[in-house]
């Protein structure tokens, strides 16, 4: 369907250049959640349970609609380190491989959490628990090094209610600095992953818990503790209802200089209006990078099908909430056109707060091409992250030179008929074998010497053509 639409649009335009979804004209509505979200440089994801990968209705919907995957339970502490020092990635890898082989990215969930700890960890305390947490983060992140887009490094560390403080747990009792130790450990373990703090009941801006997490993130940014994103789980129900200040919550976190993701969305009762509001609130904030719903069909939800919390009913039919989300994504203003490369052009004013500077990327996995030296103050390299028969995943690092970059464009030419199936952190246009990718709305600005990355999955044999970079 998506292809048919794209071909139709091309026929009408008679264009020489085939624009991909990211730059499709507004009337060429995308027909799946993932493609619709990609029009504004975002993703739309779901939680996947490894035990359901044999259910063809489940995998058909999940594969068609979503381009980001979170393992619902398979990358948690009890699953990945059932005995101290003995890691088990069999279930996590099933979810990871299914996702990547179907052209999707993966959010890692989760490394340090008071819940779902294996028995051996529950019985630890003090410095041995602190060391076990560090060892766990290192063990899991090294297995998935370079392969995970976002890691929920710490999950649900704040207390419910009016205190705005930390939740009591064995991890909290090792000392208040356990969260920053987790983030610093994570940055060292996989410098390419974006590192998130994830929690529920931090959606309502007026709640003390939201303010507590906000103050922690602000403090981390001020002190240089490596944090790149905040996950709003967004489990909405009558006790924790959607509130119209949600957009303020998203934009306020983003203003601290972190990405914001809606990570576990479900809405009891399944209100189509509330689903549209949530989607529109994300679309209104350039650093709201994507939405993940916590399951595919109502029957897959941890809440039980009778609460009707998701976008597909138990028979796999699209619900009214599905249509309202898809329409909202399709109505999103297209990402702004690339800034003109003209000396008189003033830098484009982004409505978003201080533009992001992504974590510095590790040069340790040496790319196969040396940086280009095109004028324009930036350089770019491509590396292969992963490959499988008939496909591969790559990452392009865009690095600013001695001056800050405000808007960038990278280009390359495929050597052997490769084609991109899904691209993130950028907006692509394709003409034959030539690929042009401009910055996404949220990652155009790079401080001098800093870098940002875009990624994609593609069909064909893995290739690393040289990449040029220009900046207006």
List the x/- string, 16-55, binding to ligand 9MR by CB under 6 A. ----------------------------------------
3-state secondary structure 339-364: CCCCCCCCCCCCCCCCCCCCCCCCCC
Q: How far is the CB of 362 from ligand 9MR (least distance, A)?
A: 28
Q: Rank residues 228 and 264 by Cβ distance to ligand 9MR and give the closer one.
A: 264
Q: Cα(248)–Cα(462) distance, rounded to whole angstroms?
A: 42
Distance from C-alpha of 443 to C-alpha of 258, rounded to nearest angstrom:
11
Residue 166 Cβ vs ligand 9MR, minimum distance, rounded to whole Å: 17
Exactly one of 65, 81, 156, 264 is catalytic; name it: 264
What's the closest the beta carbon of residue 90 comes to ligand 9MR, in angstroms?
18
In DSSP notation, 19-69 reads E-GGG--TTS--SSHHHHHHTTT-EEEEEE-GGGTT-HHHHHHHHHH-SEE
Residues 345-404 that bind ligand 9MR (CB under 6 A): none
Residue 170 binding ligand 9MR, by CB under 6 A:
no
Question: Helix, strand, coil: what percent of the chain each, to 5?
Answer: 30, 25, 45
Whole-angstrom distance between the N-terminal and C-terminal Cα of the chain?
Answer: 36
Question: Would the CA dihedral through 6, 68, 55, 141 be positive or negative?
Answer: positive
The site for ligand 9MR, by CB under 6 A, has a size of 8
Long-range CB contacts for residues 180-185, cutoff 8 Å, separation at least 24: 180/220, 180/225, 181/130, 181/133, 181/134, 182/111, 182/112, 182/133, 182/134, 182/137, 182/153, 182/154, 183/153, 183/154, 183/220, 183/225, 183/226, 183/227, 184/225, 184/226, 185/133, 185/134, 185/137, 185/138
Which residues, numbered 260-299, are part of the site for ligand 9MR (CB under 6 A)? 264
C-beta of 89 vs 302, nearer to ligand 9MR: 302
- The answer to whether residue 116 forms part of the interface with ligand 9MR (CB under 6 A) is yes
Binding-site string for ligand 9MR from residue 186 to residue 205, where x marks contact by CB under 6 A and - marks none: --------------x-----
CA–CA separation, 429 vs 454, rounded Å? 14
What is the distance between the alpha carbons of residues 34 and 67, in angstroms, rounded to a whole number? Answer: 5
Give catalytic status of residue 74 as yes or no. no
Choose between 22 and 195: whose C-beta lies nearer to ligand 9MR: 195
Site string for ligand 9MR, 226-265 (x = CB under 6 A): -------x------------------------------x-
CA distances to 56, 196, 222, 423 from 227, in Å = 38, 6, 11, 23
Smallest distance, ligand 9MR to C-beta of residue 112, A:
13
Provide, rounded to whole angstroms, the least separation between the CB of residue 118 and ligand 9MR. 13
Q: Is 114 in the site for ligand 9MR (CB under 6 A)?
A: no
Distance (Å, whole) CA 120 – CA 83: 7
Residue 73 in contact with ligand 9MR, rule: CB under 6 A: yes
- In the complex, what is the shortest distance from the CB of residue 49 to ligand 9MR, in angstroms, rounded to a whole number? 7
Distance CA 459, CA 422 (A): 10
Which of 65, 72, 74, 395 binds ligand 9MR (CB under 6 A)? It is: 72
Residue 302 touching ligand 9MR (CB under 6 A): yes
Q: Which is nearer to ligand 9MR, 32 or 73 (CB)?
A: 73
State in angstroms the smallest separation of the CB of 128 from ligand 9MR.
Answer: 24
Residues known to be catalytic: 264
Which residues would be at the binding site for ligand 9MR (CB under 6 A)?
72-73, 115-116, 200, 233, 264, 302
């Amino acid at each position: 369907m998506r292809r048919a639409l794209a071909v139709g649009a091309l026929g009408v335009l008679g264009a020489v250049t085939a624009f991909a979804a990211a730059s499709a004209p507004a009337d060429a509505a995308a027909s799946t959640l993932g493609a619709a979200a990609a029009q504004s440089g975002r993703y739309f994801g779901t939680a996947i349970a490894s035990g359901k990968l044999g259910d063809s209705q489940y995998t058909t919907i999940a594969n068609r609609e979503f381009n980001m995957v979170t393992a619902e339970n398979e990358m948690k502490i009890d699953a990945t380190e059932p005995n101290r020092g003995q890691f088990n990635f069999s279930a996590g890898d099933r979810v990871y491989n299914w996702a990547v082989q179907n052209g999707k990215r993966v959010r890692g969930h989760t490394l340090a959490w008071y819940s779902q700890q294996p028995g051996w960890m529950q019985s630890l305390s003090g410095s041995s628990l602190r060391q076990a947490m560090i060892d766990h983060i290192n063990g899991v992140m090294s297995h998935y090094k370079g392969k995970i887009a976002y890691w929920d490094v710490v999950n649900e560390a704040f207390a419910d209610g009016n205190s705005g403080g930390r939740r009591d747990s064995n991890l909290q009792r090792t000392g208040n600095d356990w969260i920053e130790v987790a983030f610093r450990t994570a940055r060292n373990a996989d410098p390419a992953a974006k590192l998130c703090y994830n929690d529920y009941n931090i959606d309502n801006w007026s709640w003390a818990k939201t303010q507590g997490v906000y103050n922690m993130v602000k403090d981390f940014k001020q002190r240089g503790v490596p944090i790149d994103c905040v996950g709003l789980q967004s489990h909405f129900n009558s006790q924790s209802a959607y509130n119209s200040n949600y957009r303020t919550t998203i934009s306020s976190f983003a203003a601290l200089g972190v990405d914001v993701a809606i990570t576990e969305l479900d809405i009891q009762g399944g209100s189509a209006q509330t689903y549209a509001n949530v989607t529109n609130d994300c679309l209104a904030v350039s650093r709201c990078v994507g939405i993940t719903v916590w399951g595919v069909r109502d029957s897959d939800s941890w809440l039980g099908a009778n609460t009707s919390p998701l976008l597909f009913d138990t028979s796999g039919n699209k619900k009214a909430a599905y249509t309202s989300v898809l329409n909202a994504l399709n109505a999103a203003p297209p990402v702004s056109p690339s800034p003109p490369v003209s000396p008189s052009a003033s830098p484009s004013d982004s409505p978003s707060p201080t533009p992001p500077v992504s974590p510095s990327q590790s040069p340790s996995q040496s790319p196969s091409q040396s940086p280009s030296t095109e004028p324009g103050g930036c350089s770019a390299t491509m590396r292969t992250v992963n490959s499988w028969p008939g496909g591969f995943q790559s990452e392009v690092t865009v690095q600013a030179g001695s001056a800050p970059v405000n808007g960038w464009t990278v280009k390359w030419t495929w050597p052997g008929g490769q084609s991109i199936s899904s691209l993130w952190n950028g907006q692509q246009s394709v003409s034959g074998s030539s690929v042009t990718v401009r910055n996404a709305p949220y990652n155009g600005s790079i401080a001098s010497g800093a870098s940002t990355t875009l990624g994609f999955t593609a069909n064909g044999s893995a290739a690393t053509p040289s990449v040029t970079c220009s900046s207006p």
